Chains A and B, each alone.
Chain A
């Protein structure tokens, strides 16, 4: 049985549910908005039977044994932001129970046997872009020149050097929060004193064609993106013109690098952000462990949800 956990009508989750149903998989859905009618029990047996995992998840009165779950697609939002929960007082028993439910679900996802897209402990790598960049570089991809500093003079020197070489500099979060990419402008130099409070990330802008690669197990699906925006996801907002996307085939060597990268981070489902430079190099920026793949599936007609379903159902490696 395959469990899908999240908001069922959120696009990626809806596509996965539909794809699982299309292949006739035995699928159950945990709708976070209905957590008040759900319950979770997690058992770990004693060492004599090897710490077997037991317990169950009760959805609308029907209890599914955890031992029956062979696949899990996990795309949950912060439980404390669920509208019904956010409206409760901070110390309300239902808020605490909701949090414990989600905590147990995530702990189960970390240790359950079977296929999980993705395990929460492994998804945490995306909380630090430079940590990911260390792994990306070790996996064989190029990475952009990066400076993280709280020293305005170092930031200024980096920016002015890149400008002197005819390039541009972008700044973006070090963590996974507020990860909208912005280009540094001359006016920003006057604001550099603000970085004294917290190290800030600057990168040499890499020019080229954006490529989004989705790895699902051993399967690689790539999409090329054409856009004039610094961050193509916000192209309409940044330039007034939306991005255009088309599916492409990557050469086998690059496909192997992408699969190797997702394995390095223990992420059988990964959204890898590449840029093909004008010189033909592939620079990698990030490995997204919970990709909002519907954006790419809808616009480039790539069967990502179908591949996810087949992976979860053990129909594909």
Chain B
């Protein structure tokens, strides 16, 4: 198969919505592959040498994921399925899960085309720790509230969001926000090094805005058809 891959879990409604929307837009170059199909593959072959790297993963439905034919990838990994290790003893299960995770990181990192969002060594989904997210949001100039965490009492409670926007390659999708928030969201995406980022805010009854949270795991539906079209362009230009 020569295509861009939407790599997601079977119950990822947002990814499946995006796939359908891309088809509605006439984009035929994406294929949905589940994380489970990759992890449970009976034939994974990955080679790495001074000459470069190559990989081949045969899926149970007969398709083959080859590194030289994947033109891009939308990464929606939330967790590694490990049901096939369920009967192993806990130490072996921990070891096998770490091995699988290590392989998946390299495989994702080796995709030659564009990946939204790239996997990171600390998160296959490319997610960031919430503290770092909050810190960089403040550095980006977004209206964060003071935050405290202690070893005994935990973290300051979060705010419920009222507005969500999505950044893709410096463009915003979703509700129209004040200009300074738009600029701050784009700066945050740059600081975090993620091209695709969802940022949530709370708007108080008096009109003031507060940063609530940000995630690399975006709700495509919230960005609607314009976001789907922009994603299609991001993989063709």
Min distance, Cβ A234 to any Cβ of chain B, angstroms: 18
Chain A's closest residue to B108 (CB) is A131
Residue of B nearest to A200 (CB): B99
| Interface set, chain B 69-110, CB cutoff 8 A to A | 84-85, 94-96, 98-103, 105-106, 109-110
CA separation between A120 and B123, bound complex, in Å?
12
- Say yes or no: is B134 at the interface (Cβ < 8 Å to chain A): yes
Q: Does A39 sit at the interface, judged by CB under 8 A?
A: yes
How long is the Cα–Cα vector from A144 to B51 in the complex, in angstroms? 10
Tell me which residues from 142 to 180 in chain A have a Cβ below 8 Å from any Cβ of chain B: 142-151, 154, 173-178
User: CA–CA, A101 to B151, complex, Å?
Assistant: 5
- A53: interface (CB < 8 Å): yes
Bound together, the chains give a CA A150 to CA B100 distance in angstroms of 11
Q: Tell me, rounded to whole Å, the shortest Cβ–Cβ distance linking B234 to chain A.
A: 23
Known: A44-B138, A55-B148. A142 touches B50 (CB 8 A): yes
Distance between Cα atoms of A51 and B148 in the complex (Å): 12
What bracket does the count of chain B residues touching chain A fall in? Answer: 35 or more
Q: Is the CB of B106 within 8 A of A128?
A: yes
Interface residues of chain A: helix, strand, loop or mixed (majority): mixed
Tell me whether chain B's interface is mostly helix, strand or loop, or mixed. mixed
**Interface pair B139/A42, CB less than 8 Å apart:** no
Are A149 and B44 closer than 8 Å at their CB atoms?
yes
| B residues near A40, Cβ cutoff 8 Å | 150-151
Interface residues of A in 39-61 (CB under 8 A from B): 39-47, 50-51, 53, 55
What residues on B are CB-neighbors of A55 within 8 Å?
A: 148
The docked-state distance in angstroms from the alpha carbon of A199 to that of B46 is 9
Give the number of chain A interface residues (Cβ < 8 Å).
57
The answer to whether B138 touches A131, judged by C-beta atoms less than 8 angstroms apart, is no
Partner of B102, one of A41, A151, A175: A175
When the two chains form the complex, which single residue of A98, A104, A111, A199 contacts B103, counting CB atoms closer than 8 Å?
Answer: A199
| Contact A177 B98, beta carbon cutoff 8 Å | yes
> Is B116 part of the contact surface with A, judged by Cβ < 8 Å?
no
Q: Please, how many angstroms separate the alpha-carbon atoms of A145 and B109 in the complex?
A: 18
22 examples of A-B residue contacts, CB within 8 angstroms: A41-B150, A42-B131, A43-B146, A45-B138, A47-B141, A47-B142, A47-B211, A111-B131, A120-B122, A122-B121, A124-B122, A127-B121, A134-B48, A145-B47, A148-B106, A149-B43, A149-B46, A197-B85, A197-B96, A198-B99, A198-B100, A199-B100
The chain B residues found within 8 Å of chain A, CB to CB, are 41-50, 53, 84-85, 94-96, 98-103, 105-106, 109-110, 120-122, 129, 131-132, 134-139, 141-152, 154, 211
